[in-house]
Amino acid sequence: MAKLALIRLRSGIRAKGEVRDTLAMLRLHRINHLVLVDDNPSYRGMVQKVKDYITWGEIDAETLA
């Protein structure tokens, strides 16, 4: 199964509560931290919610090895 690499780039100080909650659910608590998640519609929706605070992309097995 494909994975998504998510990296937090911005602080959530002036962010809406929904955005802060979504960042917490994605386990992105600090700036410049990376989290790997499965590529499924649920996570894609969460990524779209916080797209202004993170950068993300698909990651393959060769990169992880």
Mean pLDDT of 35-43: 97
| Helices and strands, counts by H and E, the chain | 3, 3
The pLDDT assigned to 65 comes to 85
Residues counted in the chain: 65
Sorted by where each begins, the domain ranges of the chain are 3-52
pTM, entire model:
0.91
Task: Reply yes or no on whether the pLDDT at 1 is more than 80.
Answer: no
The pLDDT assigned to 61 comes to 85
The DSSP bridge partners found for residue 35 are: 6
Please give the CATH architecture assigned to the domain spanning 3-52: 2-Layer Sandwich (3.30)
Q: Do the beta carbons of residue 38 and residue 3 sit within 8 Å?
A: yes
Strand, coil or helix: what is 54?
strand
> Which contiguous run of DSSP H or E holds residue 49?
helix 41-49
pLDDT tens readout for residues 3-33: 999 999 999 999 999 999 999 999 999 999 9
Q: Do the beta carbons of residue 32 and residue 11 sit within 8 Å?
A: no
